[in-house]
Amino acid sequence: MTTVWLVDRQFDSKGLVRLTYATEDGERIHTKELAEQRLVTGGGITAGREVEESALGETPADEVERFASEASKMAAEHDLDDTV
């Protein structure tokens, strides 16, 4: 399992939220989409998560530095299961 940290969330007009988690080096990402309603009823979003290596993708080159910075900040300020 690999630890990833929340680095980005995007809301769309259809009521979906796309969460992007990244490794601390910013090189690998894991994305998850869920209904916006689930944010309210599902207990929130955690600062980090453990995912299988096979569930990770490559970070777009123009986002690596930003994602590394955000992931490192989240790791320093939160426990994995903190709600953010």
Regions of the chain where pLDDT drops below 50: none
CB 18 within 8 A of CB 9: yes
CB 36 within 8 A of CB 66: no
What DSSP designation does 63 have?
G
pTM listed for this prediction: 0.90
